[in-house]
Chains A and B, each alone.
Chain A
Amino acid sequence: MDSSTDSVADFKTGFSGELELSPLQTPGVEALANIKTHLDVVLLALESLAGLGSEAILGAAAALELQHIVSDRVSLWRLRQSNPQRQSASGRKTLDVSETRALVLIICHLAQEHQMLIRRAVTLLEQMTHQSKDPYRAALLGDYLDRFSNTYMERMKSSALTRPEHLNHLALKLLVDLLFYGSPQGARRLWLALFDLAALA
Chain B
Amino acid sequence: MLTLERRFHFATCSLIVRARRSLQALWNPAALTRSLIWEIRFSSLFHGESEPMVIKGRAHDIQQLHQAVNHYLTSTFLSPAAVLQTLPSTSPQEAASSSPATASTAPTLAARGLVAHDLACGSLVGSQPQLTLSATQLADLASALDTYAAAQQAQTLWQRTQPFPWRPIAMGSVMVTLMGTAGFVYWQRNRPIAPVISSAPVETPPNRPPVLDVLPPPPLDVPTPLPSPELPDDLAKLKPIAPPSGVTAPNRPGVPDGGVIRLPSTDGQIQQQLPAPSTASRPPTSRPTVSRPPVSRPPTSRPPVSRPASPTSTGATPPPTRVPPAATRPAPTQPRTTPPLPPSPPSLPPTPSVPSLPPLIAQADSDAGIWAGNESAVETPSTPDKPGATTVTAPISLPDIAPSARSTPPQPSKPTANAPTTIPQVTEVQQYFAQRSRSSLVPTAGVAYHLTVGADGTLVRFRPLDTASTDYLEQLSMPRLGEPFVSSLASPHRQAEIRLDVNSDGQVTTRLNKLQ
- Residue in chain A with minimal CB distance to B139: A179
State whether A34 touches B80 (Cβ < 8 A).
yes
B143 within 8 A of A: yes
Q: How far is the CB of B153 from chain A (nearest CB, A)?
A: 11
Q: Which of B84-92, B221-229, B358-366 contacts A (4 or more CB under 8 A)?
A: B84-92
* Other 5 A-B pairs with CB < 8 A, given A125-B115, A176-B115, A189-B74: A126-B46, A174-B83, A180-B73, A180-B139, A200-B79
Q: How many residues of B contact A (CB 8 A)?
A: 32
* Interface residues in B62-92 (C-beta closer than 8 Å to A): 70, 73-75, 77-81, 83-84, 86-88, 90-92
B residues lining the A interface (CB < 8 Å): 11, 45-46, 70, 73-75, 77-81, 83-84, 86-88, 90-92, 113-116, 134-136, 139, 142-143, 146-147
Q: How far is the CB of B111 from chain A (nearest CB, A)?
A: 10
Q: How far is the CB of B453 from chain A (nearest CB, A)?
A: 144
Known: A119-B136, A161-B87. A190 touches B142 (CB 8 A): no
How distant is the Cα of A127 from the Cα of B134 in the complex, in angstroms? 10
State whether B46 touches A122 (Cβ < 8 A).
no
How distant is the Cα of A14 from the Cα of B73 in the complex, in angstroms? 18
- Residues of A near B143 (CB, < 8 A) are 183-185
A170 within 8 A of B: yes
How distant is the Cα of A168 from the Cα of B134 in the complex, in angstroms? 19
Interface of A is mostly: helix
- Residue in chain A with minimal CB distance to B91: A169
How distant is the Cα of A34 from the Cα of B81 in the complex, in angstroms? 8
* Interface residues in A171-187 (C-beta closer than 8 Å to B): 172-174, 176-177, 179-181, 183-185
State whether A129 touches B115 (Cβ < 8 A).
yes
Interface centre among B80, B91, B139, B142 (most CB of A within 10 A): B80
Known: A127-B46, A180-B139, A183-B142. A122 touches B83 (CB 8 A): no
A107 within 8 A of B: no
**Number of residue pairs spanning A and B whose beta carbons lie under 8 angstroms apart:** 97
State whether A126 touches B134 (Cβ < 8 A).
yes
How distant is the Cα of A158 from the Cα of B139 in the complex, in angstroms? 34
- Residues of A near B79 (CB, < 8 A) are 193, 196-197, 200
How distant is the Cα of A177 from the Cα of B90 in the complex, in angstroms? 17
- Given A37, A163, A166, A180, which contacts B78 in the complex, CB threshold below 8 Å? A180
- Given B87, B115, B147, which contacts A170 in the complex, CB threshold below 8 Å? B87
How distant is the Cα of A119 from the Cα of B90 in the complex, in angstroms? 23
State whether A176 touches B135 (Cβ < 8 A).
yes
CB-based closest 8 A-B pairs? A38-B80, A192-B74, A193-B78, A170-B87, A126-B115, A197-B80, A185-B146, A130-B46
Contact with B along A17-33 (1 / 0, CB 8 A): 00000000000000000
A residues lining the B interface (CB < 8 Å): 34-35, 37-38, 119, 122-123, 125-127, 129-130, 161, 163, 166, 169-170, 172-174, 176-177, 179-181, 183-185, 189-190, 192-194, 196-197, 200
State whether B45 touches A123 (Cβ < 8 A).
yes
State whether B135 touches A179 (Cβ < 8 A).
yes
- Residues of B near A174 (CB, < 8 A) are 83
State whether A166 touches B87 (Cβ < 8 A).
yes
A-B contact pairs, 11 of them (CB 8 A): A34-B80, A130-B46, A173-B114, A179-B135, A179-B139, A180-B78, A180-B139, A184-B146, A189-B70, A196-B79, A197-B80
State whether B114 touches A176 (Cβ < 8 A).
yes
- Residues of A near B146 (CB, < 8 A) are 183-185
Known: A122-B136, A126-B134, A166-B87. A193 touches B80 (CB 8 A): yes
State whether B88 touches A177 (Cβ < 8 A).
no
How distant is the Cα of A181 from the Cα of B84 in the complex, in angstroms? 17
State whether A166 touches B88 (Cβ < 8 A).
yes
- Residues of B near A192 (CB, < 8 A) are 74
